[in-house]
Structure 1
Amino acid sequence: MDDVKAIGVSIRRARRAAGITQETLADLIGTSARTVHAIETGTGNPSLLTVVAAANAVGLRLGTIDG
């Protein structure tokens, strides 16, 4: 499994374990449920900041890159 899909699977598992919907997660991070779906399935082209926000919102820590 590639890294993008593995991150998405981890976010989905954590979201489900937290008992929240894709729509609720989307509201929490200021994006659409469609974007959350794209993150969780490793499809589309969500920004790195959005992926990190989703991970952080469900208790995962991916960190950020300071440039």
Structure 2
Amino acid sequence: MDLKVFGEIIREKRSALRLNQDELSEKSGVAIKTIHSIELGKGNPAIKTILRLFDILELDLIVIASKP
């Protein structure tokens, strides 16, 4: 999956839950800078980071990974 698409999914879900990046950072323990980079489709986040964000955002890794 393209990192930009992945970042868009994270950003859209965060917005749908009415969370700003600061709130997501606080809830997940992931640095704001890292969240910002992920949402821009930059960087190479660790799987542990991705799983933390998915848990807070109630996203299913299998469903997202199967998207083209």
| C-alpha displacement of 1:53 | 1.4
CA–CA distance in structure 2, aligned partners of residues 53 and 3 of structure 1:
20
The gaps in structure 2 that reach 5 residues or longer are 63-68
What TM-score do the two structures reach when normalised by structure 2? 0.77
> Contact 1:29–1:54 (CA<8 Å) still a contact in 2?
yes
Other-structure match for 1:16: 15
- Deviation above 4 Å: which 4+ runs of structure 1? none
The gaps in structure 1 that reach 5 residues or longer are none
Matches within 5 A, 1:45-56: 45-56=44-55
Aligned length: 62
Kindly report the root-mean-square deviation, in angstroms, between the aligned alpha carbons of the 2 structures.
1.5
CA–CA distance in structure 1, aligned partners of residues 4 and 50 of structure 2:
12
Identity of aligned residues (%): 34
Other-structure match for 1:36: 35
What TM-score do the two structures reach when normalised by structure 1? 0.78
